[in-house]
Chain A
Amino acid sequence: MQMRSLRWARPTLLYALVALFLLWTLAPVLWIFVMSVQPEINYVAVPPQLNLQQVSLRWFWEMLSQQDIRDALRNSLIISFMTMVFCLFFGALAAYPLSRLNMPRKNLFLTLSIMARMIPSMVLIIPLFLLMRDLHLLDTYMALIITYSTFLLPYVIWMMKNFFDQIPYSLEAAARMDGCSRLGAIFRILLPSIAPGVVATAIFAFIGAWNEFLFGLILSTRNSMPIMVKISALVSASFHTDNSLVAATGVLAILPVVVLVFVLNRYIVRGLVEGVKF
């Protein structure tokens, strides 16, 4: 009898802990969904007075009707996508020699590249602002793409290098025997053969750019303002902030990443957990 109860206890405890952890991480996210479909008065009350009859999508329609929010969404998509492409292209070109060529000091380079990432963003904000101003890049996509790439590229290089490391030398040799140049071999054979890893890296770069706030806040004013900055602008824009509208915009900002991860889940897990098999 005692044995049996013990056998139940372990998984129960385990699942309880998992549930607790999920509640801990997902509660704020759930709450924002709730907020986005309820009038403000219902959830600011203590305790909250949630009412199913008052569930409404009108804040979503209101949000989508606002040109500036739509613009911000478009800006974020363009900037994140371009950052991803930029990081993948140059990340692959940097990772290949770091993985394959016999270069002096390549580990030093790898260390330095990651060290650049260890500097707090706040420290860089002022010099970056001045640089972008002098280059006349303030409030442009380019400013944000370049800035995001400075901190995403090191990660991308590291990830891609690890994937390249797993490719047997002979695969590249075969490509070159078949008529590829080194560069041709990278793009026609090596990258496609580590596709799961490339996809995982791409999503990582996309999310990194999508979720960024601080640089976006300082380097954009109107034309290139990303959605994350727009949300905070909504909060401070007027005397009365419609929190349901802010929540709806928040949900919108979460969606692309969630969709991306769900659709490409298979690749992400394979790329990050299993690595690439040969």
Chain B
Amino acid sequence: MTFYQLIEDTTVKLHKFAATQLPNEVSEALKKMQEAETSPPSKAALSTIVDNFGIAEETATPMCQDTGIHIYYVNIGENFPKVLGIESILRKASARATKEIPLRPNAVNPIVGGNSGDNTGRHIPYINYDFIPGADYLEITVFPKGGGSENMCALGMLKPGQGINGIKKFVIETILNAGGQPCPPVIVGVGIGGGADIALKLGKKQLMRPLGQRHPEPEIAQLEKDLLKAINMTGIGSMGLGGEVSTALDVKIDYAHRHPASLPVGIAIQCWAARKSTARIYQDGRVEFLTHKED
């Protein structure tokens, strides 16, 4: 097998893992939430959710019909020499995964209409690249993002004078506006500063962090904890049916330094079907799956 084929095959496998099995930390958190919820409609919705991801995993079927638009996070070890052609490999993997698993074709031309049929199109799949100093591997994360939760994402170009309190208010207002539409319990990623695009990118990137993990800076960690508690105080609950503890699974925040005149806040919202899968591919052909176990 060529190295390129190995990357393609691994990516198709990652798609299958992502679509059919929740990362363990997410499924465990949802089960715990189902036990803790006291409001009957939300508790019932959580039971259906738990049943659903259980059957999906057993039968290797996509847990949600919205198998998302295809987004990749590719982290390239600075000592990993073989990245030439990665984009065409990933596009091929997207189309192959769509046919083989199968996934729903979700790439639509916004101007002239028409679904491409294989989840590839202009700028889609979308690939985010980063470099990892000192690493000798290629790390690929498959992140299929559903439309329902994506539609509730928000960008606020706040005035610097609004400060941290303005950020808190914007987050709560965004969650209230979303209600049951993004399929709660949700995970909320907040990116602060940088610029409009940077805030949203940082917000979305937070959705990669493990549940329960707090930001290393204590002020941010506290803000994450406070906003999580406040969001659950809204009582929106699972699927917006009203519930005491199940509006959000977690809140993740990160920041970039801002322009003196700007305070951008990007909010990314992830539905309960928080699908992602990651593998590292080493130069010698070794593949290590980080989020899922290979049979």
Do A and B associate with each other? no
Interface residues of A (CB under 8 A from B): none
Interface residues of B (CB under 8 A from A): none
